[in-house]
Structure 1
Amino acid sequence: MDGGGKVACVTGASGYIASWIVKLLLLRGYTVKATVRDPNDRKKTEHLLALDGTKDRLKLFKADLLEEGSFQQAIDGCDSVFHTASPVTLTVSSDPQIELIDPAVKGTINVLRTCTKVSSVKRVILTSSMAAVLAPETKLGPNDVVDETFFTDPCFAEEKKQWYVLSKTLAEDAAWRFAKANEMDLIVINPGLVIGPVLHSSLNFSVAVIAELMKGKNPLNTSHHRFVDVRDVALAHVKALETPSANGRYIIDGPVVAMNDIQNVLREFLPDLCIADRNEDIKELNSVTYKTCLEKVKNLGINELIPTETSLRDLFTYFLITDLYVS
């Protein structure tokens, strides 16, 4: 579907997933109104301004998640809004409410409320997370199948002090409640741990996990991983906009990959690499060996996901030709 003549807003546009959404929208002919915290911060925006189609079809706007109405100018005149802006970190320095939960929840409602005031907006696509589908400590075995009906229990996440999980869960719940009350056409994308090539010039959380593996560490302290390519995640967002019948949530996540398999791909680039073996400390409750049902996202036309090995190789190659990776 050609996006020519259509206008889309992307919040938090300098982020990892958002940058790829912007790139894809521009390639498909959309005009993009992108929000960032500081349009004058060239380090955060230069990768966006370097994309094909930016000269006539990309406009940057300043917006703050916690500032009421600050997204109005960017959303005015848009046909659709992609809300991706939300803090991503597993650690908080002092107050999880201020650092994670408020920006995620209040920021989401701030954006959605603005959308209800702009009559041209027909559909909103929210970037959520598998964190809002199931808490990491949820005990699931290899025969369990996770689908879009699974929701993380916020009380469980709070009890375990999983603040990022809690922030994504509460934000998605608030979004669904708001959308229902305001008869909004809302679509939610729930990706797993996102990896693959980087457009921006800084390490986000998921890419930093791979950087740590390249240094011989195991930051998540687990024997298995499950990754999804950023290009597939961006495509799922855009397909969710362009598919008239799209509705509800869409899980998009990759297959289970053993740490040994990841090491084997890494050794193609770093032959002497040895990732720390901490099996005695592995959090087996964090096991990701459950099955994931991807039937719904296939309805968007995403039938074949990019193989994990390809995502890893593309990211490793990027690390080795930039200064983001320091051995």
Structure 2
Amino acid sequence: MKKHTLLVTGGTGYLASWIIKGLLEEGHDVRITVRNKNNSKKYQHLLKIESETAGRLSVFEADLLKEGSFDQAVSGCDIVFHTASPFFIAGIKNANDDLIKPAKEGTRNVLNAVNKSTSVERVVLTSSVAAIYGDNCEMRGKAAFSEADWNETSSASHQPYSFSKTVAEREAWEMCKKQKKWSLVTINPSFLLGPSLTTRKDSTSISTVVDFLSGKYKTGVPALTMGYIDVRDVAKAEIAAAFTEKAHGRYLISAGETSLSGISATLEKCFPGQYPLPKRIVPKALFWLIAPMVGYSRKVVSRNAGLPLKFDNRKSITDLGMTYRNLETTLIDQKEQLERDGLI
């Protein structure tokens, strides 16, 4: 493969780290953006990967909310991977400040930098299935959600994370339409699981499995169904989207569907009797009653609990050549990483 100069925003993130690892292994010059370049502890794992691979790593400082802060990092790049965006669904104090503003304005600032550059040919934006649908109840009348669907129901007051991903992706497509220098491909993954390249636990994807294994949910979990995907497979899809010439539009990236009880049952099957995992499903009526005390709104419970969900990932298989790890493999590898790093 031809050697490229590439930028990955939010370079210390859970997904971004796997993208960077893959790019360095292929021998590319990889730039990353971080909020504080002096805090090298957050990207030490990437420096170690660089030392063991043919690629070269460069670190730039940038802020999603600071106009022009991505200009230097973008200048001279062939491809930009924009992964930086806040991801949390509980403990939100101000949805606009915590989620929506950094997601939308961050996307705009990165793409403004791309527009100023004369070298960028493609942007790969990490969006989410949250930009495809808002609540499970929207499945009514559908066989499955696909790339043709857009989230039309989320807002700053209902499913604000989903709303932030939707407005950010829409902003990207609007900006793309206004120019002809670069192409845009979006990756829309379902819920990420799998091993991390760092020992951080501040990712929702990581903390969810830690909470399962620590016994936080041992008294029971609600009947919530979701899509799942191994973080390593998302990284593979991102890289394929960057270098596959025919790649276009949106790509729904999901290995399948599971539930909170399904995650628990899979962990119990793989590690019988080792962890205080939940065996009980909390009835929807009880979940609705206690929802505000456990970080959910009653509207979310009404529109999601006990309702099915299905995704159509055929476009990713056809265009990007995707194959997907199963849930057992993903959770075994994630548990072993957490144990190896002393996080459980």
Same fold (TM over 0.5): yes
Q: Partner residue of 1:116?
A: 115
Q: Partner residue of 1:274?
A: 277
1:105-254 equivalences in 2 (<5 Å): 105-140=104-139, 144-153=143-152, 156-158=153-155, 161-183=158-180, 184-203=182-201, 204-218=203-217, 221-254=222-255
Worse overlay, 34-43 or 251-260: 251-260
Given that 2:194 and 2:231 are in contact with CA atoms closer than 8 Å, whether structure 1 keeps it comes out as: yes
Worse overlay, 302-311 or 46-55: 46-55
The reply to whether residue 28 of structure 1 matches residue 23 of structure 2 is no
**Helix, strand or coil at the partner of 2:8:** strand
In structure 1, list runs of 5 or more residues that go unmatched: none
Displacement of 1:243 = 0.6
The reply to whether residue 95 of structure 1 matches residue 94 of structure 2 is yes
Distance 1:220 1:144, change over 3 A: farther
**Percent identity, aligned pairs only?**
35
Given that 2:24 and 2:55 are in contact with CA atoms closer than 8 Å, whether structure 1 keeps it comes out as: no
**Helix, strand or coil at the partner of 2:90:** coil
Question: Within 1, Cα distance between the matches of 2:62 and 2:225?
Answer: 38
Given that 2:28 and 2:56 are in contact with CA atoms closer than 8 Å, whether structure 1 keeps it comes out as: yes
Question: Within 2, Cα distance between the matches of 1:192 and 1:57?
Answer: 30
TM-score by length of 1: 0.91
Number of paired residues?
Answer: 321
Q: Partner residue of 2:56?
A: 57
Given that 2:199 and 2:343 are in contact with CA atoms closer than 8 Å, whether structure 1 keeps it comes out as: yes
**Helix, strand or coil at the partner of 1:285:** helix
Distance 1:202 1:84, change over 3 A: same
Question: Within 1, Cα distance between the matches of 2:37 and 2:307?
Answer: 39
Question: Within 1, Cα distance between the matches of 2:257 and 2:307?
Answer: 7
Displacement of 1:55 = 8.2
In structure 2, list runs of 5 or more residues that go unmatched: 288-300
Question: Within 1, Cα distance between the matches of 2:329 and 2:307?
Answer: 20
Displacement of 1:141 = 5.2
Given that 2:17 and 2:197 are in contact with CA atoms closer than 8 Å, whether structure 1 keeps it comes out as: yes
CA-atom RMSD in angstroms: 2.2
Displacement of 1:179 = 0.7
Displacement of 1:72 = 1.1
TM-score by length of 2: 0.86
Given that 1:256 and 1:288 are in contact with CA atoms closer than 8 Å, whether structure 2 keeps it comes out as: no
Given that 1:269 and 1:316 are in contact with CA atoms closer than 8 Å, whether structure 2 keeps it comes out as: no
Displacement of 1:212 = 1.3
